[in-house]
Amino acid sequence: MGNADQPRRLLARIEKDVVACRACPRLVDWREQIGREKRAMYRDDDYWAKAVPGFGDPQAHLLVVGLAPAAHGANRTGRMFTGDRSGDWLYRALYRAGYASQPESTALDDGLELDGAWITSPVKCAPPANKPTTDERDQCRPFFTRELEALENVKVIIVLGGFGYQVAAHELGIRPRPKFAHGLEVPLDDDRTLLCSFHVSQQNTFTGRLTESMLDDVFARARELGAG
């Protein structure tokens, strides 16, 4: 194996460690409770109900950072932003920008592939009310650190929402940290760039706070900056 295979090996090791993680009792209890009780429309589904690893192209030039798996999305399907309306928005945008092979992500075996992009979250388990605690965030941080180190070709990091921005800014050593805003662009010392977008949650997409054209503009800017 050559150097080109190193990110793949490292990310595969991280994936194994993430899936096996039971470090946060509250999150473990919650993700498994959701997997047992299920939502009525998914009552016949076998929920993943474990920590959810990152997903995508190990040679990615673009890293997309969310918040945490959704209870009936990634916690059900086992893949980030898969099987829920937030993911519908994100993968349509990735498809339009040329990073995704198809505009929807419904299941692990749906054939979706990412080209030049990797998707992850700072917290790997679905948290109650989508609100991880500070301790849970910090417990999960080493996984995020390892992903950043393994994804050696990343040139642009898109953070979806203030939580992802906070964690990424801390990890990347951004000091002082500019106030989060959609479209914010933060050049990094190592020639990478951090871009901010409102999260693709229904709180933003249903209210019009985030539109598809706004999201497309962020991914278009990522392309301009050399992300793939």
Confidence of residue 1 (pLDDT cuts 50, 70, 90): very low
Q: Which residue has the higher pLDDT, 157 or 2?
A: 157
Terminal CA-CA length for the chain: 23
Residue 189 has pLDDT above 50, yes or no: yes
- Strands 117-120 vs 62-65: parallel, antiparallel or unpaired: parallel
Q: pLDDT tens-digit profile of 29-52?
A: 999 999 999 999 999 999 999 999
Q: What pLDDT score was predicted for residue 41?
A: 96
How confident is the model over 168-181, as a mean pLDDT? 96
Residues forming beta bridges with residue 16, ordered by sequence position? none
Domain that holds residue 137: 3-224
| Segment holding 194, helix H or strand E | strand 193-197
Note every long-range contact of 128-136, with CB atoms under 8 Å and residues 24 or more positions apart, other chains counting.
Answer: 128/26, 128/30, 130/67, 130/68, 130/70, 130/201, 132/27, 132/67, 132/68, 133/26, 135/24, 136/24, 136/26, 136/27
How confident is the model over 198-223, as a mean pLDDT? 98
Place of tokens 């595969």: 12
- What's the rounded Cα separation, in Å, for the pair 167 and 164? 5
How many H-runs (helices) and E-runs (strands) does the chain carry?
A: 8, 6
Percent of the chain surpassing pLDDT 70: 99
Total domains in the chain come to 1
Preceding peptide of 176 cis, ω within 30°: yes
Angle ∠(78,158,9) on CA atoms, nearest 5: 50
Confidence of residue 227 (pLDDT cuts 50, 70, 90): confident
Q: pLDDT tens-digit profile of 134-168?
A: 999 999 999 999 999 999 999 999 999 999 999 99
Q: pLDDT tens-digit profile of 55-100?
A: 999 999 999 999 999 999 999 999 999 999 999 999 999 999 999 9
CATH code, 111 = 3.40.470.10
